[in-house]
């Protein structure tokens, strides 16, 4: 059977057949991934070269937990890779993960980026920062709290308030300030919007470039992706129009989210899966991952890519992500309660 870059077709057939004998084949590890295959392939190529274990990847843009639940005890999934704390907690709460207690992983990954029960682990972080117009915004410091200041009325753009990236930030505000404060803050932020929430993080940079707004919320890694996009070179102009401001750099630090991994509940290749998880936590893999996706490695002392360094230093909010995740439901409810996605009041 021919081997493709990700062998997604092979794994799809495995999953459909739920063949225990195939899933238990020596020297393999099966990955269900929300992270796009091309972003993780350099890591997997290095792992296979060093260990001889062949990674099989099935990419899903939705329904990963539901698929593993439906496959049940015969699921070929060994490892879950995903891009957000929400999806990691969703996997745990959906009963499709199992705890891992590895001295190697626990040594390399700080406690605030690990599930207290060992059901998930962060691999890289990205800051939820402010994109600011180089031409129209003079200041280089900002706080999340300041986004509610009337001086920004009609000058802020964001994507959908219910998007997981924004929900994570709003949940962190609840964790730091409480629900009542966050409700008022969210209402004031809504009324400072230039338009209804819409688009992706890249679209917020595009809107600043077009003069539709002066500041926006976005993830750090999108700036690196825009700066290096050869397929749509106009995105380099969007990135060139903005500067990255790290909110709360002078006090608690900037809210960060994670990409992460979890061991699947019925992993048929458990030993190989743990080997891959330990590799992904290592300095070698952290370096490759950071260079490939323009995110920050979680391993203490590891350096981000030069492009990411060019944004300036980040001081991450040390609040455990598990504490933030506990407030996501409240944050989602507040988004609806204040009518955030309706845009600014007329």
pLDDT tens digit sequence for 132-149: 999 999 999 999 999 999
- Note the helical H segments in the chain: 8-17, 20-23, 37-51, 64-71, 85-93, 103-108, 164-177, 179-191, 201-209, 220-227, 234-240, 270-281, 283-293, 306-309, 321-325, 328-337
In this structure, are 182 and 213 located in the same domain?
yes
In this structure, are 227 and 103 located in the same domain?
no
Query: What count of residues does the chain have?
Result: 346
Average pLDDT of span 159-176: 96
In this structure, are 44 and 143 located in the same domain?
no
**3 assigned to some structural domain:** no
In this structure, are 138 and 43 located in the same domain?
no
In this structure, are 13 and 120 located in the same domain?
yes
List the domain range (segments joined by +) for residue 198. Answer: 125-254+312-342
Is residue 3 scored above 60 in pLDDT?
no
Average pLDDT of span 226-233: 91
In this structure, are 16 and 55 located in the same domain?
yes
**DSSP states along 204-234:** HHHHHHTTS-SEEEEEHHHHHHHHT-SSSTH
Cβ contacts of 61 within 8 Å, gap of 6 or more = 34
Average pLDDT of span 256-274: 96
Q: What pLDDT was estimated at residue 109?
A: 95
In this structure, are 105 and 136 located in the same domain?
no
Q: What pLDDT was estimated at residue 346?
A: 67
In this structure, are 112 and 40 located in the same domain?
yes
If you average pLDDT over every residue of the chain, what do you get?
91
CATH of the domain at 336: 3.40.190.10
In this structure, are 155 and 199 located in the same domain?
yes
Strands 54-59 and 28-33: parallel
SS in 3 state form for 132-190?
A: EECCCCCCCCCCCHHHHCHHHCCCEECCCCCCHHHHHHHHHHHHHHCHHHHHHHHHHHH
Count of structural domains, the chain? 2
- Per residue in 57-110, pLDDT tens? 999 988 999 999 999 999 999 999 998 888 999 999 999 999 999 999 999 999
**1 assigned to some structural domain:** no
In this structure, are 322 and 277 located in the same domain?
no
């Amino acid at each position: 059977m021919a081997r493709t870059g990700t062998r997604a077709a092979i794994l799809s057939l495995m999953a459909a057949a739920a063949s225990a004998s195939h899933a238990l084949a020596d020297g393999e590890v099966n990955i269900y991934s929300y992270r796009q295959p091309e972003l993780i392939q350099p890591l997997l190529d290095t792992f296979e070269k060093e260990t001889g274990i062949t990674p099989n990847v099935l990419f899903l843009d939705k329904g990963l937990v539901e698929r593993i639940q439906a496959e049940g005890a015969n699921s070929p999934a060994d490892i879950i890779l995903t891009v957000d704390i929400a999806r990691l907690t969703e996997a745990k709460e959906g009963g499709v993960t199992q705890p891992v207690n590895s001295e190697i992983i626990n040594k390399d990954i700080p406690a605030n980026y690990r599930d207290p029960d060992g059901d998930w682990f962060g691999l890289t972080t990205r800051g939820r920062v402010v994109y600011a117009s180089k031409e129209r915004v003079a200041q280089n410091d900002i706080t999340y709290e300041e986004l509610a200041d009337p001086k920004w009325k009609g000058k802020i753009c964001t994507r959908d308030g219910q998007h997981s990236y924004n929900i994570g930030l709003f949940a962190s505000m609840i964790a730091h300030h409480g629900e009542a404060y966050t409700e008022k803050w969210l209402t004031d932020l809504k009324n400072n919007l230039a338009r209804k929430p819409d688009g992706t993080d890249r679209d917020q940079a595009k809107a600043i470039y077009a003069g539709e707004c002066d500041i926006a919320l976005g993830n750090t890694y999108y700036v690196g992706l825009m700066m290096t996009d050869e397929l749509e070179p106009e995105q380099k102009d969007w990135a060139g129009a903005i500067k990255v401001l790290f909110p709360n750099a002078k006090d608690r630090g900037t809210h960060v989210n994670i990409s992460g991994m979890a061991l699947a509940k019925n992993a048929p290749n458990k030993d190989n899966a743990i080997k891959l998880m330990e590799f992904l936590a290592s300095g070698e893999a952290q370096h490759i991952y950071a260079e490939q996706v323009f995110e920050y490695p979680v391993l203490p002392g590891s350096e981000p890519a030069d492009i990411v360094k060019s944004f300036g230093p980040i001081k991450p909010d040390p609040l455990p992500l598990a504490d933030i995740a506990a407030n996501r439901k409240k944050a989602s409810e507040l988004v609806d309660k204040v009518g955030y996605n309706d845009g600014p009041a007329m």
